[in-house]
A and B are shown apart, each in its own frame.
Chain A
């Protein structure tokens, strides 16, 4: 079974600084997708960034980027120039390319300090 581990239940960052959220996963598959979702206090689940395992290049979306290490099964999220609106719960998720289910980590609660 696939598992997704987020070992940091809580993180904090000063406004305008950079923070990295960690995620590791366990799979025997070679082709899959990885995601980071953001859940602000409104509780809406918002896709932040997506990585396809067959792509070696790390995905980037504005201030959000990932460090995808396939051999290490690691998928960390870097938030640059942190803003107050980045404060949220962040979930890492995995889906096998031909699979049907999404597997989620336990989440990291990010606090942004003004």
Chain B
């Protein structure tokens, strides 16, 4: 099983609908992130969290909200989806307490807003 699991893997939704993307991890990491990937723009940070009581906005947080329900779970919501939110979304984790310095990624969620 994957250490960082995202659901769903693919989703098509209509403009104006509310949608939630979920992420869970079994790595025991304290930090979790949501990134958005668009062609030619790379990965851009939407939100990040250091623990269940700490949520921070990234560079492109408008139109998104997050919830850290537990250390292992971090969900991303689009309150009213719009077509320019069509993108590949990644959840990632990292551990501030060890020498493992890189980010570990989920498999990504391909979201299409029509």
Give complex CA distance A44, B42 in Å: 14
The interface stretch among A13-21, A58-66, A74-82, A102-110 is A102-110
> Contact partner of B41 among A4, A42, A106, CB < 8 A?
A106
CB distance from A53 to the nearest CB of B (A): 11
Given A43-B108, A47-B102, A50-B101, the answer on whether A100 and B31 have CB atoms closer than 8 Å is yes
Check A101 against B105 for contact (C-beta < 8 Å).
no
Q: Which residues of B contact A9 (CB under 8 A)?
A: 40
The interface stretch among B11-19, B43-51, B76-84 is B43-51
Per-residue A-contact encoding for B95-110, CB less than 8 Å = 1, 0 else: 0100001110101101
Check A91 against B105 for contact (C-beta < 8 Å).
no
Q: Which residues of A contact B48 (CB under 8 A)?
A: 100-101
Give complex CA distance A44, B96 in Å: 23
Question: Number of A interface residues, CB 8 Å?
Answer: 22
> Contact partner of B42 among A33, A35, A52, A107, CB < 8 A?
A107
Give complex CA distance A47, B100 in Å: 12
Which B residues between 23 and 65 are near A, CB-CB below 8 angstroms?
31, 33, 35, 40-45, 48, 50, 56, 58
Give complex CA distance A6, B43 in Å: 13
Majority secondary structure of chain B interface residues (helix, strand, loop or mixed): strand
Check A106 against B42 for contact (C-beta < 8 Å).
yes
Q: Which residues of B contact A101 (CB under 8 A)?
A: 33, 45, 48, 58
Does B113 interact with chain A (Cβ within 8 Å)?
A: no
Check B41 against A45 for contact (C-beta < 8 Å).
no
Check B33 against A102 for contact (C-beta < 8 Å).
yes
Tell me which of B44, B50, B102 has the highest count of chain A C-beta atoms within 10 A of its own C-beta: B102
CB distance from A14 to the nearest CB of B (A): 25
8 A-B pairs, CB-CB below 8 angstroms?
A42-B107, A43-B88, A45-B90, A93-B103, A100-B48, A100-B50, A102-B94, A107-B42
Known A101-B45, A107-B42; further 13 A-B contacts with Cβ < 8 A: A42-B107, A43-B88, A91-B42, A91-B43, A100-B31, A100-B48, A100-B96, A101-B58, A102-B92, A102-B103, A104-B35, A104-B44, A106-B42
